């Protein structure tokens, strides 16, 4: 098979974004615009991607590296034709078909790119162009057809008169070119037009001069050709991807109580028979199993939540793992590397960070568990705190199977609690506790008889209590 490479044009600044960030770095559904374009290329089977960058290129270098792409720098933005020329210079010699994509058109799909590739090959055309028929084509270059349906010309709105503005078929800025044709013709482009730019679109006329044709492929879904030039269009693109994701999950057997009030990013997976309540936000590479219930207001980023688990309202989870049947929340906070065991229970106002909670263990109320290993069926009482940080370094707390931790305990790490031990409430544990031991750390209680009557009777008055007579001292 022919070797296919891609050039992604992404050097423009994007003035209408009114931003210090280059346009293609702005996020659509949580990922830079450029990322979506590169993913479509990669999913279409294209292995070599050259990114043409200019303005603020350091802000998008990470994305290019994620796709193993090459970078070609276009120092001055002289137009899409000039950008393609920069990109072509960086292509490997083996590439004989070149897909050109716009970094600011993030909704293009890999399936469509494959259609575009096939269309050019079948017609032995110099190029194929992805077009779209838009109800409001304003701002886009317009596609004019020959009587046989091939592309006659692409005219920028700024260069055309009122008759051009009436044309509703627009150029998406996505093309496939025969490499030799591209290499021969890019140096021949001229910048004699309203914008004084080298237009990639002028290659259509140059193809005709060589006796070759350019074939159009109309996008079935016109949203796919959207170019993003403003914050409004950016928000619309995110909304399109959000809706598409939720539709796909509905099809896959997920229940949404309020689909329009749920935000789920494209890479998230959710298993069948899961139920998602209003206001839930699922981000990044989150993987939700089957039969999971995620209640109102939960925010989950890059987490695994296994089958049958439940996230109660307003829990916030990041880079964590909730195993089968575990229940988290309401108002729980799982910070990176929290690993909540099967059937474990993390209750309200409990924060867990970089800790493994064993199967069936419980921390139901108001606790901080950090840098810890908690065994199976342990019970962490209300107000327990692992003091994991001594001001300089982090230390580990190990709590064995079946340990019962009384309320308001502090573990001053590093510290190890043997299995089956019992920690009396209110302890400050600074040393290891052997298995099955009772650990107590509190001063003995002292009661001073009638102290309140003698020293603070006003307290009793305030509470409406009668002041009793003093007991006689023995």
The interface partner of residue 11, options being ligand UD1, Ca ion, none and the CB cut-off 5 to 8 Å by kind, is ligand UD1
Strand partners, 198: none
How far apart, in whole angstroms, are the C-alpha atoms of residue 79 and residue 106? 19
In this structure, what are the phi and psi dihedrals at residue 470, rounded to the nearest 5 degrees?
-70, 140
Instruction: Give the nearer residue to ligand UD1 in terms of CB position, either 140 or 411.
Output: 140
Q: Is residue 222 a contact point for ligand UD1 (CB under 6 A)?
A: no
Helix (H) or strand (E) holding 264: strand 263-264
Closest approach of ligand UD1 to the CB of residue 9, in Å = 3
Active-site residue flag, 365: yes
**Residue 320 in contact with residue 301, Cβ under 8 Å?**
no
Among 170, 213, 322, 334, the residue binding ligand UD1 under the rule CB under 6 A is 170
Q: Is residue 151 a contact point for ligand UD1 (CB under 6 A)?
A: no
Instruction: Give the nearer residue to ligand UD1 in terms of CB position, either 170 or 328.
Output: 170
The interface partner of residue 201, options being ligand UD1, Ca ion, none and the CB cut-off 5 to 8 Å by kind, is ligand UD1
Closest approach of ligand UD1 to the CB of residue 260, in Å = 28
Judged by CB under 6 A, the chain residues 80 through 99 that form the site for ligand UD1 are 80, 82-83
Rg (CA), the chain: 32
Judged by CB under 6 A, the chain residues 34 through 53 that form the site for ligand UD1 are 52
Instruction: Give the nearer residue to ligand UD1 in terms of CB position, either 12 or 297.
Output: 12
Among 50, 105, 107, 294, the residue binding ligand UD1 under the rule CB under 6 A is 105
Q: Is residue 201 a contact point for ligand UD1 (CB under 6 A)?
A: yes
Judged by CB under 6 A, the chain residues 349 through 388 that form the site for ligand UD1 are none
In this structure, are strands 169-178 and 97-102 parallel, antiparallel, or unpaired? antiparallel
**Residue 342 in contact with residue 324, Cβ under 8 Å?**
yes
Rounded to the nearest 10 degrees, what angle do helices 33-43 and 110-123 cross at? 50
Among 6, 11, 25, 130, the residue binding ligand UD1 under the rule CB under 6 A is 11
DSSP 385-434: EEE-B-SS-B--EEE-TT-EE-SS-EEESSEEE-TT-EE-TT-EE-S-B-
Q: What's the maximum distance between 2 C-alpha atoms anywhere in the chain?
A: 120
CA distances, 120 to each of 112, 127, 248, 468 (Å):
13, 6, 31, 101
**Residue 326 in contact with residue 308, Cβ under 8 Å?**
no
Total site size for ligand UD1, rule CB under 6 A: 28
Closest approach of Ca ion to the CB of residue 15, in Å = 11
Which residues of 74-190 form beta strands (DSSP E)?
A: 97-102, 127-133, 142-145, 151-155, 169-178
Q: Is residue 12 a contact point for ligand UD1 (CB under 6 A)?
A: yes
How far apart, in whole angstroms, are the C-alpha atoms of residue 85 and residue 311? 52
Instruction: Give the nearer residue to ligand UD1 in terms of CB position, either 73 or 440.
Output: 73
Among 38, 60, 72, 102, the residue binding ligand UD1 under the rule CB under 6 A is 102
Paired tokens of 46: 């294209």
Instruction: Give the nearer residue to ligand UD1 in terms of CB position, either 104 or 351.
Output: 104
The interface partner of residue 9, options being Ca ion, ligand UD1, none and the CB cut-off 5 to 8 Å by kind, is ligand UD1
How far apart, in whole angstroms, are the C-alpha atoms of residue 361 and residue 342? 9
Cis-peptide into 414, omega within 30 deg: yes
Instruction: Give the nearer residue to Ca ion in terms of CB position, either 104 or 339.
Output: 104
Among 4, 7, 9, 213, the residue binding ligand UD1 under the rule CB under 6 A is 9
Catalytic residue among 26, 36, 55, 365: 365
| Site for ligand UD1, rule CB under 6 A | 9-12, 52, 74, 77-80, 82-83, 102-105, 140-141, 154, 156, 170-173, 199-201, 227
Active-site residue list: 365
């Amino acid at each position: 098979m022919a070797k296919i490479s891609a050039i992604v044009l992404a050097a423009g600044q994007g003035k209408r974004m009114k931003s210090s960030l280059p346009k293609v770095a702005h996020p659509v559904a949580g990922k830079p615009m450029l990322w979506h374009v590169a993913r479509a290329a990669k999913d279409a089977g294209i292995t070599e991607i050259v990114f043409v960058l200019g303005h603020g290129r350091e802000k998008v270098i990470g994305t290019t590296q994620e796709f193993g792409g090459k970078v070609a720098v276009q120092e001055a933005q002289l137009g899409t034709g000039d950008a393609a020329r920069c990109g072509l210079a960086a292509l490997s010699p083996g590439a004989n078909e070149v897909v050109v994509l716009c970094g600011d058109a993030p909704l293009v799909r890999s399936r469509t790119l494959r259609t575009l590739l096939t269309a050019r090959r079948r017609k032995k055309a110099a190029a194929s162009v992805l077009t779209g028929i838009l109800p409001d084509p304003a701002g886009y270059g317009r596609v004019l057809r020959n009587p046989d349906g091939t592309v006659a010309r692409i005219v920028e709105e700024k260069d055309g008169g009122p008759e051009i503005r009436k044309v509703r078929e627009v150029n998406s800025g996505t093309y496939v070119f025969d490499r030799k044709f591209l290499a021969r013709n890019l140096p021949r482009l001229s910048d004699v037009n309203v914008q004084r730019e080298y237009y990639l679109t002028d290659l259509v006329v140059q193809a005709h001069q060589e006796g070759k044709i350019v074939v159009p492929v109309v996008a079935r879904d016109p949203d796919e050709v959207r170019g993003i030039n403003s914050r409004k269009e950016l928000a619309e693109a995110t909304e399109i991807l959000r809706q598409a994701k939720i539709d796909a999950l509905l099809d896959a057997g997920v229940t949404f109580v309020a689909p329009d009030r749920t935000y789920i990013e494209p890479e998230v997976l959710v298993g069948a028979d899961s139920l998602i309540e209003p206001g839930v936000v699922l981000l990044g590479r989150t993987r939700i199993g089957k039969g999971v219930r995620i209640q109102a207001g939960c925010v989950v980023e890059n987490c695994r939540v296994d089958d049958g688990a439940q996230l109660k309202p307003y829990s916030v989870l990041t880079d964590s793992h909730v195993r089968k049947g575990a229940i988290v929340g309401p108002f729980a906070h799982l910070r990176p590397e929290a690993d909540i065991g099967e059937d474990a229970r993390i209750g309200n106002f409990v924060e867990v960070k970089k800790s493994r909670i064993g199967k069936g263990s419980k921390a139901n109320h108001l606790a901080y568990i950090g840098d810890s290993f908690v065994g199976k069926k342990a019970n962490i009482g209300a107000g327990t705190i692992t003091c994991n940080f001594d001001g300089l370094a982090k230390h580990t707390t190990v709590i064995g199977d079946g340990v019962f931790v009384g309320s308001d305990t502090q573990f001053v790490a590093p510290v190890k609690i043997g299995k089956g031990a019992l920690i009396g409430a209110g302890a400050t544990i600074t040393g290891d506790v052997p298995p099955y031991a009772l650990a107590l750390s509190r001063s003995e209680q002292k009661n001073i008889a009638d102290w309140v009557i003698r020293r603070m009777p006003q307290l009793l008055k305030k509470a409406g209590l009668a002041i009793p007579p003093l007991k006689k001292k023995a």
